[in-house]
Structure 1
């Protein structure tokens, strides 16, 4: 595994543990010689993550739309910077360059990136693992929602199993490297069509 894209916040959050986790992950990536790919910002836990990786000798690529770069929030000390036109292009670059994804606590933008990557995995756009660094149980409620959506038939169990959750950065990276993605059989879309037709015809 040569590179990992990390999704995290443009805010620091209200708990010191969020910044601590971001810094720990940044250092761990550098020590393991894994390149960090992230959103390119110099604010929030995004900055903490990048600073820690750079200070430990790691390589950091930031990807940022012109709209945000022009607001002077682009980190000025990165190994490499890629600017693009839109938020959608930013995520496309992240998907192409990363071998895996890690999600830290964050807000709406972080969740958008998580679910984009999760959808890529579901649709076989990329076969790249996704890990949630569950700092102080931050993602517990989200995981309960995903379990409910799986139980109620909106997410396939095979897809749900592909989200790897851990509260330790080093262990999460190791699991991303070692665990095998669970793939549904090739007819799963046909099953959705049949299920829709059967349930509509029985109404």
Structure 2
């Protein structure tokens, strides 16, 4: 994996552990020569990931909608910053420019990005690993929900492994690198399954 899309919040939580986590991920990816594609913001966890990666000599590509540039939240010190018109274009660029996806703590925008990456993998629009860094237990409830979807039958057994979860970056990257492509919904329907 040469470049990963990193999804995370633009907010700064009161608990400094979240900013520390973001900085550690940015630095950790740069030290492994893994470039970052992210939302192009300068605030919150997004800004912390970018700044730490840049300080460690890493490549950081931002993709940001014009409306957020106009709101003055764009990070102007990146390796490159691409301005798009819509959030859909932004997410397509994340997919086009990256070899996989890593999700850190965040809010509704982060969840939108994560779920789209998972949905697209399930359908076969990409075959890239989708990682969830469950540091600080932040995503315990989401992981339980993922398991519940499988238990009830809304998530096929062969797709359960699409969400790759770990509590630490090193373990997450190793699991993502070892991920095997799954049989997609489109392929299954074509085969009459």
Which range, TM-score by smaller chain? over 0.9
- The equivalent of 1:127 in structure 2 is 127
- The equivalent of 1:200 in structure 2 is none
Summarize the alignment of residues 3-152 of structure 1 with structure 2, pairs less than 5 Å apart: 3-152=3-152
Structure 1 unaligned regions, length at least 5: 192-203
Q: Is the 8 A contact 2:63 2:84 kept in 1?
A: yes
Tell me the C-alpha RMSD between the 2 structures.
1.4
Greater shift in the superposed pair: 180-189 or 6-15 = 180-189
State the 1:15 CA deviation.
2.1
Question: What is the TM-score of this pair, normalised by structure 2?
Answer: 0.94
Q: Is the 8 A contact 1:25 1:170 kept in 2?
A: no
Name the CA distance, whole Å, in 1 between partners of 2:171 and 2:145. 24
Structure 2 unaligned regions, length at least 5: none
Q: Is the 8 A contact 1:101 1:128 kept in 2?
A: yes
SS at match of 2:182: coil
State the 1:126 CA deviation.
0.4
State the 1:14 CA deviation.
3.0
Q: Is the 8 A contact 2:65 2:86 kept in 1?
A: yes
Name the CA distance, whole Å, in 1 between partners of 2:76 and 2:119. 32
Greater shift in the superposed pair: 179-188 or 34-43 = 179-188
Residue 176 of structure 2 corresponds to residue 176 of structure 1: yes
Greater shift in the superposed pair: 112-121 or 8-17 = 8-17
Name the CA distance, whole Å, in 2 between partners of 1:162 and 1:14. 32
- The equivalent of 2:159 in structure 1 is 159
Name the CA distance, whole Å, in 2 between partners of 1:177 and 1:14. 33
State the 1:163 CA deviation.
0.9
Q: Is the 8 A contact 1:37 1:63 kept in 2?
A: yes
User: How many pairs align?
Assistant: 191
Question: What is the TM-score of this pair, normalised by structure 1?
Answer: 0.90
State the 1:176 CA deviation.
1.1
State the 1:147 CA deviation.
1.0
- The equivalent of 2:188 in structure 1 is 187
